[in-house]
C-alpha cells in the first residue's frame, strides 16, 4: 500500500461514510464482552454466556437475572466519549464526513457531537420503553429496583437496545445501506473486514476507497485499499491537525 496521507484521502472525498466497530470503544476502556477471558468470567458469575443473557428470551423468562447482568455489565460501563469520537464530530463539522453507522450501544458518536448517526442496535439512553403501552423511560429509571417496571402497566421495561433474537428496524438498515451506496470513501474504524457490520454493508459500497484503522491487523484487511494500525484517536487527531494547517473548502 505504500505511504499515503490519510488527511489527503479523507479531504478529497466527496461523500465519506464511517462504520465504527467495537474496538473503537475498547480503545476508550469499554469491554465488548467478546474477549474470551471476559466471557468466561461472565459465565462463571451468571451461569450463562453473555450471548444467552443478552437475549430476548432471557429478558422475557428471567428478567431479574437479565437486569442484574444489564446493570453490572452494560450500564456500569457508560462513559464519556473519547478523543476519537470527538474527532469524528469535528470531521463531520468540516462537511467531509456525511454519516456514521454503528452497532454499539453507548451512543458515543452522537454524544460526542455527531449529528447524522445510524445506531442500528439502539442505545442505552434512548427508547427504554414499556412493550405494552410504549411509555418511554430515561436510563436512570433502568437502575431502579430489581426489575424496572412500567408505572402504568406493571410489566418489565424493555431496554432501548436490540437484544439477541430481535429484529433490527428494517427502515434504519435500508437508510444506512443507502448512505453506504452513495459513499465514494468508506472509513472503517475499530473493525476488520470480517466483522458483522462490515459484512452487512460492504456489499452496498460502490465507491473508490476503503480506509481501515484498527488496533491490530487481520488477514482479511487486504480487501481494504488503505490500512493503519494503532490508536484511532491518534490517527484522527493527526488528520484534524493537517486539515487545520491546510484548510479545505466545506463540502455541502
User: What is the tens place of the pLDDT at every residue in 73-100?
Assistant: 999 999 999 999 999 999 999 999 999 9
| Distance between CA atoms of residues 44 and 160, nearest Å | 27
Q: Does residue 65 belong to any structural domain of this protein? A: no
| 39 domain-assigned | no
Task: Please give the radius of gyration of the chain, using alpha carbons only, rounded to the nearest integer.
Answer: 19
pTM of the model: 0.92
Residue 76 domain flag: no
pLDDT tier for residue 250 given thresholds of 50, 70 and 90: very low
Query: Whose CA is closest to 174, among 151, 201, 209?
Result: 201
Percent of the chain with pLDDT over 90: 89
pLDDT confidence tier of residue 247, bands split at 50, 70 and 90:
low
Other beta carbons within 10 Å of 250 = 9
**pLDDT of 225 above 50:** yes
Average pLDDT on 167-182 reads 96
Active site residue 121: yes
How confident is the model at residue 33, as a pLDDT?
A: 75
d(CA 251, CA 56): 42
Determine contact, residues 117/110, Cβ cutoff 8 Å. Answer: yes
Q: How many domains does the chain have?
A: 1
Residue 62 belongs to some domain of the structure: no
Quote the domain boundaries for residue 24.
6-30+81-124+167-245
220 located within any domain: yes
Q: What's the CATH code of the domain at 211?
A: 3.40.50.1220
Q: Is beta strand 185-189 parallel, antiparallel or unpaired with respect to 16-20?
A: parallel
Place of cell 461523500: 15
Query: Could you tell me if residue 189 is inside a domain?
Result: yes
Among residues 121, 129, 158, 218, the one annotated as catalytic is 121
- Tell me, yes or no, whether 139 lies in a domain: no
The predicted structure's pLDDT at residue 109: 97
Amino acid at each position: 500500500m505504500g505511504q499515503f496521507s490519510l488527511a489527503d484521502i479523507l479531504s478529497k472525498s466527496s461523500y465519506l461514510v464511517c462504520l465504527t466497530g467495537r474496538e473503537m470503544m475498547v480503545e476508550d476502556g469499554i469491554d465488548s464482552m467478546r474477549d474470551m477471558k471476559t466471557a468466561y468470567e461472565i459465565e462463571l458469575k451468571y451461569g450463562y454466556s453473555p450471548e444467552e443473557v443478552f437475549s430476548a428470551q432471557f429478558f422475557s423468562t428471567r428478567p431479574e437475572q437479565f437486569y442484574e447482568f444489564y446493570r453490572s455489565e452494560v450500564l456500569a460501563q457508560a462513559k464519556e466519549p473519547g478523543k476519537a469520537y470527538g474527532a469524528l464530530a469535528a470531521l463531520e463539522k468540516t462537511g467531509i464526513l456525511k454519516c456514521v453507522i454503528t452497532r454499539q450501544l453507548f451512543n458515543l458518536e452522537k454524544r460526542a457531537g455527531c449529528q447524522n448517526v445510524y445506531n442500528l442496535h439502539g442505545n442505552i439512553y434512548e427508547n427504554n420503553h414499556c412493550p405494552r403501552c410504549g411509555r418511554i423511560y430515561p436510563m436512570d429509571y433502568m437502575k431502579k429496583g430489581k426489575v424496572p417496571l412500567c408505572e402504568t402497566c406493571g410489566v418489565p421495561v424493555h431496554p432501548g437496545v436490540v437484544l439477541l433474537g430481535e429484529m433490527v428496524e428494517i427502515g434504519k438498515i435500508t437508510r444506512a445501506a443507502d448512505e453506504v451506496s452513495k459513499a465514494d470513501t468508506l472509513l472503517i474504524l475499530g473493525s476488520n473486514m470480517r466483522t458483522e457490520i462490515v459484512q452487512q454493508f460492504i456489499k452496498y459500497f460502490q465507491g473508490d476507497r476503503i480506509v481501515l484503522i484498527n488496533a491490530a491487523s487481520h488477514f482479511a484487511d487486504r480487501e481494504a485499499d488503505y490500512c493503519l494500525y494503532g490508536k484511532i484517536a491518534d490517527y484522527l487527531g493527526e488528520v484534524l491537525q493537517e486539515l487545520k494547517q491546510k484548510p479545505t473548502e466545506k463540502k455541502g
